[in-house]
Amino acid sequence: MTGTTRTAIEAVWRIESAQLIGGLMRVVRDVGLAEDLAQEALVLALERWPETGIPDNPGAWLMATAKNRAIDQLRRRQMLDRKHGGLEAERLSLTPAASFEMEAAIDENVGDDLLRLILIACHPVLSTEARVALTLRLLGGLTTEEIARAFLVPEPTIAQRIVRAKRTLAEAQVPFEVPRGPDLSARLPSVLEVVYLVFNEGYAATRGDDWVRAELCEDALRLGRVLAGLVPDEAEVHGLVALMELQASRFRARVGPGGEPILLLDQDRSRWDQLLIRRGLAVLARAEALAHPLGPYTLQAAISACHARAWTGRETDWKRIVALYDALVELTHSPVVELNRAVAVSMAFGPAAGLELVDALVEEPALRAYHLLPSVRGDLLAKLGRTAEARTEFERAASLAQNGRERALLLARAEACETAGRS
């Protein structure tokens, strides 16, 4: 098989796998079995397509192949049941009519397939880590190796998370129906959390040597856009998509030629992607029209929009950002959000005002090992001319940071403070 052919097949799989698994799961009622059947179809495609060429409708080919495998497997299982189970198994046997009904069910074009798969992969009965791994596997089309590499976790760990997630879903007898109305709204936060976590890990990687992993952000954005199409009346879904579009618009300006981080106020805004900004602002307007009051993702998107609308850092409407953070703090009660609000206050009302708020967070248990707390404090101390204290804070932040690029940036800022203190 040529490299070009394999790449093409992998691209087809990324596009079609979620719909394929979703359609199969609707019929076999087992997420593990649905994925196994889909994988068997992929293996057959890898064997045959290099010789026959990729079909005009590869998704239909994969579905037909997986459907036949599903029917064959059910027939084999029922033959064994008849052999060992007597009259009851005879009653439950797959008649020609039942076989036809199963084929029709798989062929039926049901728009809920993807939504059902998303809701199951992100079911709150699963741990956050399991939801992330299962979502990237089933909906992102990523291999276990790719997920492990993206999150810098050993491959066996990811494999175990996926296996345990499937077992947990089976043991919990999670229903395969798509909830409606308030029940659907209640399930969406666990889905949005997963998409948000995947995007954030790509936007500012917590570990490793790369600060940005664009492929994870692309996976999250694709999932968010799909979800927005499936539940068009849910404001927070649009709010999250708007946030991701606006954040993604900065990718080209966020890293230097050598991969080094470039902070927001130092970025060349002419390199921001204006198409993504326009898309983000349009989606934000839709979210704001649907939301009463604004939810946490929509509020974050509105904050990001303030940056997107400003051609320079000085032109940013920092007072509006402070007001938006006020609402976000009230809604989330998050110390991390309070820290971000302190930064906005420092930009709107001066570093001393911001430092007062940061100092009030120093003893917060949730921020004790959070490297951005001493980083922000160091920045404000440096602006106030307290360079020796700032250097200590930057060094502490570097010791807590797990991303190599970010650690190097913090150490460089500590060294700059030392140089400034000597001059």
Tens of pLDDT along the chain (423 residues) come to: 566 777 888 888 888 888 889 888 888 888 898 999 999 998 998 888 988 888 889 888 998 998 888 887 777 766 666 665 553 444 334 444 444 444 554 444 445 788 889 999 999 999 999 999 999 999 888 889 988 888 878 999 999 999 999 999 989 988 888 888 888 888 999 999 999 999 999 898 887 888 888 888 998 999 999 999 999 999 999 999 999 999 999 999 999 998 899 999 999 999 999 999 999 999 999 999 999 899 999 999 999 999 999 999 889 999 999 999 999 999 999 999 999 999 999 999 999 999 999 999 999 999 999 999 999 999 999 999 999 999 999 999 999 998 999 999 999 999 999 888 776
**Residue-level pLDDT at 111:** 55
Q: Do 114 and 135 touch, CB atoms closer than 8 A?
A: no
Burial of 291 (0-12, 13-18, 19+ CB in 10 A): middle
| pLDDT score at 97 | 43
**Taking Cα atoms as reference points, which of 63, 35, 66 lies closest to residue 159?**
35
Q: Please, what sign has the CA dihedral across residues 146, 203, 157, 114?
A: negative
The number of beta carbons lying within 10 Å of the beta carbon of residue 177 is: 11
The whole-model pTM stands at 0.84
The predicted pLDDT at position 215 comes to 87
Half-sphere exposure of residue 214: CA atoms within 13 angstroms, side-chain side: 9
